[in-house]
């Protein structure tokens, strides 16, 4: 009996120093807040898909419009800031805008999107597929995109900064492959 009384006193003491209801908990987010978060994530995922679609369609103006006015693209070709510079990079690397494309395409996968108010981050994987010598699709380049995005005044989302980090082959190996293909 003595043990029980001591245990009861200890329990009563712990209850006095512990916050009521255990650890402080945040109130659940409203349905409107949760819906906005889902809509934001879906809109950002759409930007990621549109990035690949406009690139493969050689629609450089639509591609560049996915970036904020001070948006940056960083990858194997260096850093290019602003839609005009990004659009010029594409014309230099891929040829004229609007040209038919039966040579390559991009696959974007595994997007992870984190929305925090009017800013967001995203990471995704990319696979660049080129037409092989026998006409078959040939996986050529794989890597990770790391993005910073911003909500615009109209509520839409645009890319503030995209970093393309080649994994397979490495940036140096890829430069050699392209040089061999183009005869440079």
Residue 64 resides in a domain: yes
Residue 111 resides in a domain: yes
Which helix (H) or strand (E) segment is 79 a member of? strand 78-81
Residue 73 resides in a domain: yes
Query: pLDDT of the chain along its 184 residues, tens only?
Result: 444 555 555 444 544 444 555 556 777 889 999 999 999 999 999 999 999 999 999 999 999 999 999 999 999 778 999 999 999 998 888 888 998 888 999 999 999 999 999 999 999 999 999 999 899 999 999 999 999 999 999 999 999 999 999 999 887 887 787 777 777 6
Residue 5 resides in a domain: no
Q: How far apart are CA 137 and CA 115, in angstroms?
A: 35
CATH of the domain at 64: 3.10.450.50
The SS3 call for residue 100 is coil
Cβ–Cβ < 8 Å for 149, 69: no
Q: How far apart are CA 90 and CA 75, in angstroms?
A: 12
Residue 7 resides in a domain: no
- Predicted local distance difference test score (pLDDT) of residue 5: 52
Residue 8 resides in a domain: no
Q: How far apart are CA 15 and CA 141, in angstroms?
A: 60
Residue 89 domain boundaries: 31-182
Residue 3 resides in a domain: no
Looking at the structure of the chain, the number of domains it has is 1
- Predicted local distance difference test score (pLDDT) of residue 87: 92
- Predicted local distance difference test score (pLDDT) of residue 180: 79
β-strand partners of 11: none
β-strand partners of 169: none
- Predicted local distance difference test score (pLDDT) of residue 7: 56
Residue 100 resides in a domain: yes
């Amino acid at each position: 009996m003595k043990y029980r009384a001591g245990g009861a006193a200890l329990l009563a003491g712990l209850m006095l120093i512990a916050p009521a209801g255990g650890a402080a908990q945040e109130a659940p987010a409203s349905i409107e807040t949760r819906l906005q978060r889902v809509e934001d994530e879906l809109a950002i995922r759409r930007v990621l898909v549109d990035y690949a679609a406009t690139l493969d369609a050689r629609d450089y103006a639509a591609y560049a419009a996915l970036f904020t006015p001070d948006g940056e693209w960083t990858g194997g070709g260096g850093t290019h800031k602003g839609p005009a510079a990004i659009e010029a990079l594409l014309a230099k690397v891929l040829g004229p805008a609007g040209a038919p494309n039966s040579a390559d395409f991009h696959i974007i996968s595994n997007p992870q999107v984190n929305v925090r108010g009017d800013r967001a981050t995203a990471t995704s994987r990319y696979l660049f597929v080129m037409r092989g010598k026998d006409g078959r699709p040939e996986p050529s380049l794989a890597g990770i995109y790391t993005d910073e995005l911003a909500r615009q005044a109209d509520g839409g989302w645009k890319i503030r900064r995209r970093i393309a980090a080649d994994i397979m082959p490495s940036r140096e190996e890829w430069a050699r492959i392209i040089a061999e293909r183009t005869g440079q």
